[in-house]
Amino acid sequence: MLRMRVPALLVLLFCFRGSAGPSPHFLQQPEDLVVLLGEEARLPCALGAYWGLVQWTKSGLALGGQRDLPGWSRYWISGNAANGQHDLHIRPVELEDEASYECQATQAGLRSRPAQLHVLVPPEAPQVLGGPSVSLVAGVPANLTCRSRGHARPTPELLWFRDGVLLDGTTFHQTLLKEGTPGSVESTLTLTPFSHDDGATFVCRARSQALPAGRDTAITLSLQYPPEVTLSASPHTVQEGEKVIFLCQATAQPPVTGYRWAKGGSPVLGARGPRLEVVAEASFLTEPVSCEVSNAVGSANRSTALDVLFGPILQAKPEHVSVDVGEDASFSCAWRGNPLPRVTWTRRGGAQVLGSGATLRLPSVGPEDAGDYVCRAEPGLSGLGGGAAEARLTVNAPPVVTALHSAPAFLRGPARLQCLVFASPAPDAVVWSWDEGFLEAGSQGRFLVETFPAPESRGGLGPGLISVLHISGTQESDFSRSFNCSARNRLGEGGAQASLGRRDLLPTVRIVAGVAAATTTLLMVITGVALCCWRHSKASASFSEQKNLMRIPGSSDGSSSRGPEEEETGSREDRGPIVHTDHSDLVLEEEGTLETKDPTNGYYKVRGVSPPASPDSCVTSLQWKSPGISNLP
């Protein structure tokens, strides 16, 4: 009687709580689940604000509301009912458990979303027909068949591996049982084995979602094959008269039964076994040696010829090429030799390899590509032969004009400017131009133009010309203006600017005067010391203090011997001797006179100081003044 009252009380309590609190709801609902056959499945269910009856259904069939689910020995409900936890467990899972499950709160009229339980069955180990050792014949196509039986779910895939590498070229076939369920699956690997496949291991793997790692079955190939022959000559590269040993090596299954040697198709008498020794001669270059090996399956033959060495020989020289700028250019040369020579292309004087082979192609050339190109063949192994051949690439382009260095000139003196012109085709004219005029050749006023071939040519840029602009009696404006040297041919025009540097004589005069003054002063010091010592040796008593003045000829005490006009002339830096542009020799001033003057302007004075009281000593105190050498620029 008490048991009947408890559910009624729970219903009343639920109604009372429901009217006062939140309505029943799902905190967690079951979701689709995939499990392996024999494992445990757990479908969660949690309710909030609900303390009534909870039950699970399987494909619409109620399993019951008790926690141990009587009648379902592998099913039970777990969790704290007071907290609303009602999880469904199934263990071990069987194929019949694959269905749709719902969690229901009966008194609240709540049903969870359906959860589908999927049961997977791992595949069994596959079977390879003819295994574990499959006998095949090398060179004959064959099939390897792998089969998987059982009730695997889902249907497994069959894969072939060799040395851990997945193989392609397989075909897949599946058979069904009468009920429509998978019966067996097969995979066929088609291959053509070779001798190196003897003893190889192949693996067939059955893999599915139920067993991602899969199950493997391995087989080993056992092959029969005719001999595989390797023929070698030592040394292979020889000169006539050297000894050569041929070695014929073979692998076969079943074993080798015999050897046969031939030269140029004719049998070598007396040759037996895998080794042949001969003396090389010229005929071995064109008549190869062959070795034939046999066994019960078949035979195989290999041949080789000896090399007779000779170095590279030039057959065709490269030819000179002339193209316009922007066009493609190519050179070709031919060498022969044994072994074939390695041919490389470089520019003359350069080490960078531009190409290799018989042909060098230069796309879209520019003036910088002009020059001499070298086709070189390296000597052969014998060290003989080899060499190089050159060809010139001339790029027809607008003239390239370069202003050459010109020596500075003096005001109202002669001067010249030079430019160097390279052009292919040759320029029509070379013209000098400046502010108020231009000149191509001949003379015009103070200007004269000469043009003559350059002593050296620049490879590929065409012949060189040197154009010289002579200027007589330079003026101030010549040192501030720019002179333009330009040349033109059918492809365009090129030019360069040159300027005239000015040369000043005054710094040279100052340096020469300073050196002369220092030399004169040194001579005066030496003379004064010698004179003092001589007087001391002649005197019998002490000397009285006196002042001796020595003076440079042509000067006075502290004053210059020049007149005011000469000093004014010497004070101007732009009025001095003129230095020749080629030899820097001193020449006459404009007045036509060159006076002999004191280089120190009478500035140096040497004063003697009396010696000390001791008659045995001779000391001279010297004083002088520098003529402003520190003011030199």
3-state SS class at 11: helix
Q: How far is 470 from 450, CA to CA, in rounded Å?
A: 8
pLDDT 10s digits, 167-176 = 887 776 666 5
Average pLDDT over residues 382-399: 83
pLDDT at 131: 85
- 311-396: CATH topology: Immunoglobulin-like (2.60.40)
Average pLDDT over residues 434-459: 84
Asked if pLDDT for residue 249 goes beyond 50, the answer is yes
Q: Where are the beta strands (DSSP E) in 378-481?
A: 387-403, 415-424, 429-434, 437-439, 442-444, 447-453, 464-471
Is-same-fold flag (25-120; 405-499)? yes
**263: Cβ contacts below 8 Å, ≥ 6 apart:** 284, 287, 288, 289, 290
pLDDT at 182: 56
Q: How far is 566 from 322, CA to CA, in rounded Å?
A: 68
> Using 50, 70 and 90 to split pLDDT, how confident is the model at 179?
very low
The answer to whether the CB of 415 falls within 8 A of the CB of 476 is no
Q: What is the dihedral angle through the alpha carbons of 462, 468, 469, 472, rounded to the nearest 10 degrees?
A: 180
pLDDT at 140: 87
The CATH number given to 405-499 is 2.60.40.10
DSSP letter at 630 equals: G
The answer to whether the CB of 322 falls within 8 A of the CB of 394 is yes
Residue 163 neighbours by CB distance under 10 Å: 9
The answer to whether the CB of 315 falls within 8 A of the CB of 290 is no
Q: How far is 135 from 198, CA to CA, in rounded Å?
A: 9
The answer to whether the CB of 390 falls within 8 A of the CB of 366 is no
Distance of CA 443 to the CA centre of its chain: 58
Write down the domain spans for the chain.
25-120, 122-305, 311-396, 405-499
> Using 50, 70 and 90 to split pLDDT, how confident is the model at 103?
very high
The answer to whether the CB of 421 falls within 8 A of the CB of 449 is no
Specify the pTM: 0.38
Asked if pLDDT for residue 199 goes beyond 80, the answer is yes
Asked if pLDDT for residue 541 goes beyond 60, the answer is no
Computed over every residue of the chain, the mean pLDDT equals 78
Average pLDDT over residues 351-376: 91
The CATH number given to 25-120 is 2.60.40.10
Asked if pLDDT for residue 610 goes beyond 70, the answer is no
Q: How far is 244 from 231, CA to CA, in rounded Å?
A: 13
Measured CA angle at 117 (ends 111, 118), to 5 deg: 160
The answer to whether the CB of 200 falls within 8 A of the CB of 220 is yes
User: What is the architecture of the domain spanning 122-305?
Assistant: Sandwich (2.60)
- Pick from 381-395, 475-489, 561-575, 592-606 the range whose average pLDDT is largest: 475-489
Q: How many residues does the chain have?
A: 633
Asked if pLDDT for residue 570 goes beyond 50, the answer is no
pLDDT 10s digits, 40-67 = 999 999 999 898 899 999 999 999 888 9
Asked if pLDDT for residue 540 goes beyond 90, the answer is no
> Using 50, 70 and 90 to split pLDDT, how confident is the model at 461?
low
pLDDT at 578: 31
Q: Is the peptide bond before 612 cis (omega within 30 degrees of 0)?
A: no
pLDDT at 292: 95
pLDDT 10s digits, 315-345 = 899 999 999 989 999 999 999 877 788 899 9
pLDDT at 472: 92
